[in-house]
Amino acid sequence: MSEFFGFLLSGVTVGFIYALVGIGFTVIYNSSGIINFSQGEFVMAGGMSTVFLLKAGLPLGVSFILAIMITSMIGIVLYKLISFSKESSQISLIILTLGFAIFLRGLAEVVFDKELHTIPSFVGDGSFDMFGTTLTYQSILIMIVSIVIVTLLYFFFKKTKTGQAMMAASINVDAARLMGINIKKILMINFALSATIAAIGGILLTPITSTNYEVGIMLGLKGFAAAIIGGLSNPFGAVVGGLVLGILESLIAGYVSSEYKDAVAFVVMLGILFFMPGGIFGNTKAQRV
């Protein structure tokens, strides 16, 4: 039984990371109907920037803030590119964001390098022993920060004027425009917000799993699966989706085969797409074409 809790705990930690990536997908999809295939690269950008800012001798706090700012700028650049595009068919937008992901990976190779990097845990190397396993302080930090981010997002969308404007825009663009909401600005904020969340995920993750220029590929895809499981248009669904994935992965790795754990996310995703395309928190917006 202690083994079970051990797997569960390590699954929850990873699950929160998937959740953070997944939320990023939903924030952009909700406002623009675009699936951003460079979401994973935002995560990479956050982690790698932090590593190299720290290497340059900047203090921890400054590095975090700069890394987040850099990543949100990247998000805005992507938005600008999309708005430049002459055509907005889904295929060309998918390929544009895929191209942007490749571009970011290439940029990271040049600006940083191709090596694997790690940074010390922000809260010390200590850990709690529980259920026959250990829970590092860094894992606990990841859980706390994720919960805080989700809570803040909730209040942002429900209580603030900008947040409500963003919700309105996502429900009906034309109506929102008529009401005097600046759609372009809203979209830009969404891209920046999504990149910010991804960057935070990337930074938190680095002490545990290390980072390199291509770490974003798999993370992006898993986060994406998390978003689908949760229903794609629902940020809070993505959190549940991420946790479900993280825990399932860990249990499969523990009891069935550690080699097939990466396949779990996609098998679950296909199941959801085939049998409940709206996700477990399905709503009408999922039918959006």
Partner 1 sequence: MLKRYNINRDILTLSAILIVAPFFFQNDFYYEIAIVSLLNALICVGLNMLMGYAGQVSLGHGAFAGLGGYIAVILGSRYGISPLFSIFIAIVTMAIFAFLISKPILRLKGHYLAMATLGVGIIISIVLNVEDELTGGSDGMSVDSFTMFGYEFTDSLQWYILCAFLLVLTIWMFTNLIDSPFGRVLKSIEGSEKAANSVGINVSHYKSIVFVISVVIATIAGSLYAFFSGFISPIEASFSHSIELVVMVVLGGLGRIYGAFIGAVILTILPQLLTSFEDYQTLIYGSIIIFVMIFMPKGIASVYEDVKGRVFASNK
Partner 2 sequence: MLKKIGLSILAFLFVSSFMILSAGTIRIGAIVSATGPASFLGDPELKTLQHYVKKINDAGGVDGQKIKLIAYDTSGSPKKAVTFVKRLISQDKVVAIIGPSTTGETMAVIKFVQRAKIPLISMAGAVAIIKPVKKYVFKMVATDRMACKRIMQDLKKRKLTNLALISGSGGFGRSMRKQCKVVAPSYGIKIVADETYGKKDTDMTTQLLKIKNNKKVQAVLNPGFGQGPAIVTKNYRQLKIKQPLYQSHGVASKKFIEMAGKAANGVRLVSPPVIVADKLPDSNPIKKVALAYKNEYEKTFHTQVASFGGHAYDSLYAIVTAIKAEKSTNPQKIRDGIENLKNFQGVDGIVNMSPTDHLGLDTKTGMVMLDIKNGDWVIVK
Identify what 84 binds: partner 2, partner 1, none; CB under 5 to 8 Å per kind: partner 1
Binding site for partner 2 (CB under 8 A): 2-3, 6-7, 10, 14, 113-116, 118, 120, 125, 127, 129, 132-134, 136, 208-210, 215, 218, 250, 253-254, 258-259, 261-262
SS3 assignment, position 187: helix
Q: What are phi and psi of 135, to 5 degrees?
A: -120, 115
The contacts of residue 270 (CB under 8 Å, 6+ apart) are: none
The DSSP code sequence of 141-169 is HHHHHHHHHHHHHHHHHHHSHHHHHHHHH
Cβ-in-10-Å burial (0-12, 13-18, 19+) of 186 comes to buried
21 sits near partner 1 (criterion: CB under 8 A)? no
Per-residue binding letters, 204-243, with partner 1 (x by CB under 8 A)? -------------x---x--xx--x---------------
Beta bridge partners of 211: 117
Q: Is 91 in the site for partner 1 (CB under 8 A)?
A: yes
Name which position in 99, 120, 126, 132 contacts partner 1 (CB under 8 A): 99
CA dihedral sign, ordered 42, 21, 61, 189 = positive
Return the number of the residue (1 or 178) whose C-beta is nearest partner 2. Answer: 1
Sites of contact with partner 1 (CB under 8 A): 35, 81, 84-87, 89-92, 94-96, 98-107, 109-110, 217, 221, 224-225, 228, 257, 259-260, 262-263, 266-267, 269-270, 273-274, 277, 288-289
